[in-house]
Structure 1
Amino acid sequence: MSQIHQSFLVLTFFCCLALLSQSHFTASKSDGLIRLQLIPVDSLEPQNLNESQKFHGLVEKSKRRASYLKSISTLNSSVLNPSDTIPITMNTQSSLYFVNIGIGRPITQEPLLVDTASDLIWTQCQPCINCFPQTFPIYDPRQSATYGRLPCNDPSCENNREFSCVNDVCVYDERYANGASTKGIASEDLFFFFPDSIPEFLVFGCSDDNQGFPFGPDNRISGILGLSMSPLSLISQIGGDINHKFSYCLVYPLASSTLTFGDVDTSGLPIQSTPFVTPHAPGYSNYYLNLIDVSIGTHRMMFPPNTFAIRDVERGLGGCIMDSGSAFTSMERTPYRQVLEQFMAYFERFHLIRVQTATGFELCYRQDPNFTDYPSMTLHFKGADWPLPKEYVYIFNTAGEKYFCVALLPDDRLTIIGAFHQQNVLVIYDVGNNRLQFAPVVCKGPK
């Protein structure tokens, strides 16, 4: 933390306590946890869609998200320069949830996309050279008594590839293949988490030059909340306060859920653990897991060893990523085909009729009111098994033509465990111990 912020810290803390009672934010939490409401990005989009259209929209988001994750792997394969290019832009199609964050004193509320694959926290800043539209006020550092630029000699500027020092100013410049770009100044300010309003000084990107982003006039998103393993992510910056843990319990990809930072109570839960896989290359901060095999019902697929292993991390080939930003699970094409063939062999025994749907899923069948014997699916990780009941293996269309589809998508490079398969599971990212923990629960939306 820079010296200017040390001088503000004590005074700001007591000022905040006095002012919180006059604001719409609640006071500090009693259990030592920080909780944020995960708001579906789809809530910002047209709501007059039928079930099939909603499924199709989530499928398309999942495909774009997969491209985004692969682009990050490709980007991390070389030393960055200010003009490095990412093959896909940041927009509401590249993540599933957003959160509301307060920045500065006085507080400016900023909605940020939640991204477990992004390293940096950044938001649009006044005065704008170029800013995309947003309905919330754009954060203005000139109005914040607690704002400061990150000095070039600060370790966060010197030791992070996202930042560089130009004319004694710590800056960043990220460019995207479609012509979009975001530029700004590495900065520090107080961040407030809703509804829990204990402030934290965080390093973030103050973006005053944003061009080419496809946001319309009703856009509510102002930037990104990075939750990766990177030193600049939120998890790393407040890790000591939250025991380097965050967790979520997803109700449904189209419903609000809760994102929690800190040690949640797991007493009485059948917690399982599996280690994160760290690629043998610098700069990779996605949450890779060691997926070993898959079962359909009682049938174990018996995939050869390393079927889901990272083969070439610099090209984004192979590996299994845990990702709450993807709606549906994508599986690398070869095991995907074998898994679908096993589903087909199972359903053929019951003479179910295959149908084509507008959802984007490949394997769909007409619903038979007399058929209820849907097989489950189990993901076998190193040291842990993740059982998926039928409610989270298939999507069911109940309006008009009734059908169901196996909720899996193919991918040319990666396997990605999406939010649909994470429903009603407490998922704990124990970054300090390099492991993912999980247990089946009944998830509830924010209180």
Structure 2
Amino acid sequence: MASSPLLLCVLLLYTYCLTIALGNSEHGFVLVPRSSSASSGLPCSSVSQVTSDPNRVLSVPLAHRYGACAPSSPSGATDRPPSLAERLRRDRARRSHLISKASGRSSISQSDAGVSIPTSLGAAVDSLEYVVTLGFGTPAVPQTVLIDTGSDLSWVQCQPCDASACYPQKDPLFDPSASSTYAPVPCDTQACRDLAAGSYNNGCTTNATGASLCRYGIEYGNFDTTVGLYSTETLTLTPAVSITNFSFGCGLRQRGTFDRFDGLLGLGGAPESLVSQTAETYGGAFSYCLPPGNSSTGFLALGTPSNNTPGSFQFTPLHGVPGQATFYLVTLAGISVGGKQLDIPPAVFSKGMIIDSGTVVTGLPGTAYSALRTAFRSAMSAYPLLPPNEELDTCYNFTGFSNVTVPTVSLTFDGGATIDLDVPSGILLEDCLAFVGGSSDREVGIIGNVNQRTFEVLYDSGRGHVGFRPGAC
């Protein structure tokens, strides 16, 4: 009989551990097998875990650009992903540029061989991580493009373009002459004048027949550039859905490190973006789900889900950044670690947070990050800290551990929406806490894509809110 209390304690402990191992975060911690975080070398999963709306006709697969599910180059070669340190350097540059734009500070313009672009209009392209494949032209030609909520004007590389003017890409260059629906935009048109109003206009050029055509130009935050003809074309999203007269840039001269992909799909809020161009049909709404790892797919969708979509959304008000129609701004109200609310004054979050698909790690106001780091380190005190990796200063050595107990991290937004970040993919980036702190509390913050993993993130400008649906991919 003396052993009964001990046996009872063992059984209770086993039940508690089993509950955690199955992913229940009631106690504020989740037991994570180390094998679950080592997915970068796995083949693309043949079993879809996507739970997008089955009744929504417009949903296209989305993959990590360096993952096993990304389209390969025609030769079958696999692009070598950058190191974590390089990704973080690129990410820091992008985050700084977005904050600078949101604060109304413009970048210095450059010129290249007579091509002058008035200002830096887009965030760094080399930091972008997710791609979709769409069809350009008639007949539709597949083009694999980076998605970016921090950019507006979409573009692909076009023929004629030689190695001195364009970079190597995964698919054949788009050939406008082979499409029956391609049309360059004339210079003396309202469309060209509207492009100038959006600061993407780069003057006019004359073709072989003497026609004056509208030219676009974009300089990104890392000084990569794309210049070409502003054009319209049929964009095929799925076999059942096409967009006619889609305005985009037909790139004839690119400079920089674009890493083999065919172009960019702008998902910002300005008039040039895909979202704005399809607003009459889809209400200015779109969503995506970023997969938890590189060996599975998520989705990109236009429009709002139907009421019978699996799972439910939590919504927070959507705000704009004055003078910057591109960005989507939300307001944080609090952060919890291990089920406990952190003591952060609400004023710390007053500048808002840009929610962005292209930034990797989340940049918090300094006071908020300090509180998060202290609580997270305390909860992870059983594991040895490593030296910082670039700006990530809370990294762990899990060598020898078959399982790791990770505290939950929850974000609460204005209006009460609270999301529990996916464990571990939404909290840890290569065993480092995927947050950084800003130099002050007086600048806008950025919610990066690591925190967004596995959620369907719905941007609905028509209704003025952003929604989060867990477990969507």
| 1:409/1:253 CA distance change after superposition, 3 Å | farther
Q: Identify the match of residue 378 of structure 1 among 395, 407, 410.
A: 410
The CA distance in 1 between the partners of 2:288 and 2:236, in whole Å, is 19
CA 180–376 in structure 1, closer or farther in 2 if over 3 Å, else same: closer
CA distance in 2, matches of 1:396, 1:95: 16
> Which residue of 2 is the match for residue 105 of structure 1?
138
Q: Say whether 1:38 aligns with 2:62.
A: yes
Distance 1:419 1:179 in 2: 23
2:274 to 234, 242, 251: 234
Over 3 Å counting, the alpha-carbon distance change for 1:178 and 1:35 in structure 2 is closer
Shifted more, 362-371 versus 142-151: the winner is: 362-371
Q: CA 1:48/1:286 → structure 2, altered by over 3 Å: closer, same or farther?
A: closer
Distance 2:433 2:221 in 1: 33
Change (3 A) 1:137 1:286: same
Q: 2:260 maps to which residue?
A: 220
2:289 maps to 1:249:
yes
Mapped to 2, the partners of 1:222 and 1:75 lie a distance apart of 31
Change (3 A) 1:74 1:164: farther
- 2 CA distance for matches of 1:359 and 1:177? 20
In the alignment, does 2:157 pair up with 1:124?
yes
| Counterparts of residues 65-144 of structure 1 (less than 5 Å) | 65-70=94-99, 72-73=101-102, 77=106, 83-86=117-120, 90-91=124-125, 93-128=126-161, 130-144=165-179
Q: 2:336 aligns with which of 286, 295, 298?
A: 295
Deviations 1:206-260 (Å, cap 9, x if unpaired)?
12122x3125xxx531221000011110011112222322112222252321111
1:272 aligned partner, one-letter code: Q
Q: CA deviation at 1:174?
A: 2.8
Question: What is the Cα deviation at residue 56 of structure 1?
Answer: 4.9
| 1:399-428 Cα distance to aligned partner (Å, 9 max, x none) | xxxxx4423233445522222222222221
Q: Which residue of 1 aligns with 2:457?
A: 427
Letter in 2 for 1:271: F
Kindly indicate whether residue 326 of structure 2 is the aligned counterpart of residue 282 of structure 1: no
| Distance in 2 separating the partners of 1:232 and 1:46 | 32
Name the structure 1 match of 2:394: 363
Deviations 1:299-331 (A, max 9, x none): 322322331233xxxxxxxx3111222333232
- Corresponding letter in the other structure for 2:248: F
Structure 1 position 390, deviation (Å): 3.7
Alignment-derived partner of residue 407 in structure 1: 434
Sort the Cα spacing of 1:138 and 1:371 in 2 relative to 1 into closer, same or farther, 3 A. closer
**% identical equivalent positions:** 27
1:151 maps to 2:195: no
The equivalent of 1:333 in structure 2 is: 366
Alpha-carbon distance between aligned partners in 1 of 2:346 and 2:457, rounded to the nearest angstrom: 26
Segments of 5+ residues of structure 1 without an aligned counterpart are 1-28, 311-318, 398-403
Residue 189 of structure 1 and its aligned partner are, at CA, apart by: 1.0
List per-residue Cα deviations over 1:99-150 (Å, max 9, x = no partner). Answer: 2221112333222111011010111222237222224221222222211122
Shift of 1:204: 0.8
Structure 1 Cα separation of the partners of residues 419 and 136 of structure 2: 38
Contact conserved, 1:102 with 1:191, CA < 8 A, in 2? yes
How far has the Cα of 1:78 moved from its partner?
9.1
Q: 1:173 aligns with which of 217, 222, 227?
A: 217
RMSD of aligned alpha carbons: 3.5
| Cα distance in 2 for residues equivalent to 1:48 and 1:113 | 17
Please tell me whether residue 203 in structure 1 is matched to residue 237 in structure 2: no
CA contact (8 A) 1:291 1:381 kept: yes
Distance 1:234 1:176, change over 3 A: closer
Which amino acid counterpart does residue 201 of structure 2 have in structure 1?
F
Work out the CA distance in 2 between the residues paired with 1:111 and 1:97.
10
**Does the aligned pair in 2 maintain the 1:326–1:418 contact within 8 Å?**
yes
What code does the residue aligned with 1:184 have?
G
